[in-house]
Amino acid sequence: MASSDEGTSLGSKYQVFLSFRGPDTRVGFTDVLFHSLTDTGICVFRDDEEVRAGERIDGSLQRAIDNSRIYIPVFSRTYASSQWCLRELVQIVANTSISEGKKEILPIFFDVEPEDVKLKTPLYHDAILNLEREKKLSTEQVDAWRKALMEVDAIKGWEVKKYRGYVDVIKLIVEEVVKKLKIKHRSVTENLVGIDDRVMAVNELLDIDSGGVRLIGIYGMGGIGKTTLAKVVFNQLSFHFGKCCCFLENIQAKSSSPNGVIELQKKLLSEIGHPDIARSIDEIDYGTKKIEEVLKNKKVLIVLDDVANKKQVEELVGRSRLYPGSRILITTRNKDVFRISRPNYQILEYEMEVMSSDYALELFSRHAFNEDSPSDDYKELSREIVSATGRLPLAIEVIGSFLFDRRQEIWNETLDKLRKAPHKDVFGKLKISYDALTFEQQQIFLDIACFFIGEHMTNAIYMWKDCDFFPDTGLDVLISMSLVKIVENAFWMHDQLRDLGKEIVRQENPINPTERSRVWIDMEVLDAIRTKEVI
């Protein structure tokens, strides 16, 4: 039979209707399932707690069935011995059949087999015969019960006996319901490859089952897949928080627009259930204060995507204590963001690194061929292109999609362009990090890109100090923003970032290299020396 979360009226639109035999499963399985669903913010109808004084139970149940989107019949040993359960099932099947696919039935076989529900064993078959004789029911009514049972049994469901315990199967059921209802899920690009291990690592840091507060920071260069990873994690965990979750995207770009921070504050408050407070926000400090007041008293999941600095974190989640069980996930290019001042909380860091060669080739193949691997005649060329993209997911997706169904001559030409300069779209994405640097930091970045990859850092630092470029500070910033790494006291830079730096210099004068700030190609260096245009 069927209850809802507290305070929901009978006229409300329920999301899930539980049909079950009380004596069999009310205490135990159905109770755990009910609370697991309602804990995610799903409105569930269960049992007769919903009936108002003076209302006929049939009327209230009919409204609940009519208003629900998903039906979950829990088939147990005495389910078919209850006229009430069988009448519910007939109405469930009828509503589903006329819904044009908008309603679904998700059956659970608790302590029975699908064969029992098909009436192929004595269990349900004899139970219905007994009801027919004892209650002197019409053949028409009994046939309707049999037909409903047969129709529901044809739907794939969960056989509880096949799982180790209630927890495992209930978790799967809740996840399926969340997916069906599309509860606060972020859209994620198709053709995800090699992300499972990363998701697992971040989930381990978040440790959703622990009672404390966790702040996790994902950092890495632009285009490496931080936002995609955050979206997948958010989608997996959001049902634990019901309506109290929010994903704020593109914070760096949105914060720079007029009233951008205020709009982000309003969005956060609205999505975690406080639209009234959101409407009152007209100033950043006031918005931060109100957010702090809410977060102290509510368990939340919040993702802050593409954060540029510590101030943005403080403006959006404040500096006060968070409610136990809350999780904050931050993505950024700038590792310094994690050095925020919060009482009793430390941000646990996860560095996004480039994809493995095999995963990168698989991702490229899905976009370039709509297959998991390239055809034999394109295999080596594909590997070279993947290598030239730096194995960045964004670059792979853009280049692979561009090359889909194009002639091999275009592929060769694209490879040549990738080796000389980054693809246009990827260039724009990566240049965001470069543009955020100070003039001195940009010069250090360009010097490393053009001259110092693989070189020991000592001589370069002396040179930058003489130029008043403040290299200690500058290198800290470049490392924090994942633009440069130091490996055994030598500079290392991703190939695509190296190409970005060289392209920026080339654009200073595309025609005459001697008028650029840096010259690194041998013949161009000789030409510059001969014309005495280099000092």
- Give the residue among 17, 42, 18, 44 at the shortest CA–CA distance from 29: 18
- CATH classification of the domain holding 342: 3.40.50.300
Q: Please give the pLDDT value at position 117.
A: 93
Domain final residue, candidates 179, 210, 230 = 179
Q: Is the pTM of this model over 0.85?
A: no
Model confidence pLDDT, tens digit, residues 64-123: 888 888 999 999 999 999 988 998 999 999 999 998 888 999 999 999 999 999 999 999
Same domain (yes/no): 342, 382: no
**Together in a domain, 27 and 174:** yes
Indicate whether 93 belongs to any domain. Answer: yes
**Number of domains present in the structure of the chain:** 4
Task: Please tell me the distance from the alpha carbon of residue 64 to that of residue 265, in angstroms, as a whole number.
Answer: 36
Which pLDDT value is given to residue 230?
Answer: 94
Residue 4 lies in a domain: no
Measuring CA to CA, how many Å separate 397 from each of 194, 313, 494?
A: 14, 30, 18
Please check whether residues 208 and 113 belong to one and the same domain. Answer: no
Please tell me whether residues 273 and 336 are part of one structural domain: yes
> How far apart are alpha carbons 339 and 83 in whole angstroms?
64
- What CATH code is carried by the domain that includes residue 132? 3.40.50.10140
CA 389 to chain centre: 24
Do the Cβ atoms of 481 and 333 come closer than 8 Å?
Answer: yes
Claim to verify: residue 367 and residue 434 sit in the same structural domain: no
| Cα separation, 442 vs 474, whole angstroms | 9
Q: What is the pLDDT of residue 446?
A: 97
Strands (E), 315-468: 327-332, 347-351
Calpha distance 506→508 (Å, rounded):
5
Residue 7 domain-assigned (yes or no): no
3-state secondary structure of 485: strand
Residues 345 and 361 in one domain: no
**Is residue 477, in this structure, part of any structural domain at all?**
yes
- Is the residue at 293 inside a domain? yes
Residue 136 lies in a domain: yes
Domain that holds residue 438: 428-530
379 and 251 assigned to the same domain: no
Residues 58 and 168 in one domain: yes
Task: Check: CB of residue 506 under 8 Å from CB of residue 421.
Answer: yes
Task: Enumerate residue ranges in the chain where pLDDT < 50.
Answer: 1-12, 48-57, 534-535
Chain segment 321-333, per-residue pLDDT in tens: 899 999 999 999 8
Looking at residue 262, its pLDDT comes to 96
Please check whether residues 403 and 264 belong to one and the same domain: no
- Same domain (yes/no): 320, 206: yes
Separation of alpha carbons 4 and 9, rounded Å: 9
Same structural domain, 131 and 216: no
- The answer to whether residues 308 and 453 belong to one domain is no
Angle at 282 between CA 277 and CA 288, to 5 degrees: 65
* pLDDT for position 49: 36
- Does residue 395 lie in a domain region? yes
Please identify, among 148, 179, 210, the residue that sits at the C-terminal boundary of a domain: 179
CATH code for the domain of 460: 1.10.10
Q: Of 385, 420, 455, which residue sits at a domain end?
A: 420
Angle of CA points 498, 501, 506, to nearest 5°? 125
Task: List C-alpha distances in Å: 19 to 48, 129, 188, 308.
Answer: 12, 21, 34, 50
- Distance in angstroms (rounded) separating the CA atoms of residues 38 and 32: 10
Is 1 inside any structural domain? no
Name beta bridge partners: 493.
none
> Beta-strand (E) ranges in 128-219?
158-159, 214-219
Active site residues: 88
